[in-house]
A and B are shown apart, each in its own frame.
Chain A
């Protein structure tokens, strides 16, 4: 997972404030949190920053794909083992006799499903990290043997 420092190193680091943030570091944090995007740093559009801009965009690609809850699933790491499917408390509550018992999900209310050997997340708004009573749940991250799920 990309870090704030990696992003920061690629910025002009002049603290010019053209992006609306007070420092380049603040802008890096905002980008990582998906509140700002690369294009808002106008000095980066200049030709001599072309390489750095491209690098930033590639680093931020997975972050850009994150769901509203900040969840990212890395399909290339996922082995489709289904641990997250069975461990997620939302899946257990919404499908106690399917996913909750280790079987194939029996309805579409679950968050995780395995399709073509990889996990696919949907109903993300049901995730306990989201909404009014949010809690810092780790029930899908901890059982994953390959680190295929993360939150940003």
Chain B
């Protein structure tokens, strides 16, 4: 059995048949996972100024850029093992750099609150064994974590839910569009207007207090009734909800307080984003957006967006992440104007604009380690095939030495 690193569910029931150091067959992984486990189709090669070179020269050039930089930034590490993340934080400390990851414009705000115990939460195994009411909110689990419903949340039979989804569980979707997850929730899909989550929460809280909710009275009272009766509920908070209420996150806290039988679970995409947030939280007390300067300083201006916009960073090391494909245009031109060092197993949009590229092994396939599942459980990753590539952990170490 090996672990899939296709998403933060980290399915550890995958069987592989390896022949001549290649994966021949993968059992139990979903399509997304199987694609990830096949490795890269387009492998990154070491380059300096877009010209192929050897890995040693790449590392030396990267170190030189960082030495010459006044405000270096490290970004990514969401697709790296926890061990590499620890080394990455160490590296950022050593260079007095800014450190941030995808979670700063994604689920970071929610994970921070979960880690600070502002929400009740539980494990995915608890959900399988006990949960009777599941709310997928702003989350299309069926597409983003394809085995979420089948492995843990809706379909399986669990200790207290022997009759599985047919009788023992109810799935509810709240979303701006009828996603594949919403289709499965059939009669219990609540469509909301874009950015309408806050209003919806407030109306739902009213309904839970027995007041007449401000809108959609009938459906809201019906939903409140279902939630109140739940014995063990879970709200799977997707990025749709997090984005929409990020400026007033306390409304979700207020809702959670009104639902004592419910647990809040962040839905995470990148396989070890929660690991990054947890490691950072342990080391610095913050989950992202940090600048090291003898101590760790946390500020919104150290987010990737602000660091680029405000020109706070003058060189950037990107590890296992592809900001070029996810950041908005104006920020991108700023990114393209500073030296970019890209560490990744595969060719990405970011590697294409990078000054230096350093290929690394595919973690969970060519290198072992640990990662944190979206519910906080630590899962082991195995090395399945041999490769000549350095791991991102080793590259971090080499950079620490070289600067």
Contact = CB atoms under 8 A, between A and B. Distances in A.
B164 A92 contact: yes
A113 B31 CA distance: 13
Interface string A88-109: 0000100010001111110000
Contacts of B165: 87, 143
Contacts of B105: none
A81 B149 contact: yes
A103 B180 CA distance: 22
A85 interface: yes
B146 A81 contact: yes
B232 interface: no
A80 interface: yes
Contacts of A44: none
A101 B147 CA distance: 13
B123 to A, nearest CB: 14
Interface residues of B, number: 34
B157 A114 contact: no
Nearest to B33: A117
Interface residues of A, number: 26
B231 interface: no
A53 interface: no
A80 B30 CA distance: 4
B93 interface: no
A102 B158 CA distance: 9
B31 A80 contact: yes
A79 interface: yes
Given A92-B164, A145-B142, A82 B157 contact: no
Given A104-B15, A146-B180, A114 B28 contact: yes
Given A92-B164, A104-B13, A145-B183, A117 B150 contact: no
B249 interface: no
A117 B1 CA distance: 16
B157 A100 contact: yes
B156 A101 contact: yes
Contact of A117 (B15, B35, B180): B35
Nearest to A118: B31
A105 B150 CA distance: 12
Interface string B93-107: 000000000000000
6 contacts: A79-B146, A102-B156, A103-B151, A114-B30, A117-B26, A143-B165
Given A79-B30, A83-B184, 13 more contacts: A79-B146, A80-B31, A82-B146, A86-B150, A87-B164, A102-B157, A104-B27, A113-B28, A115-B25, A117-B32, A143-B149, A143-B165, A143-B184
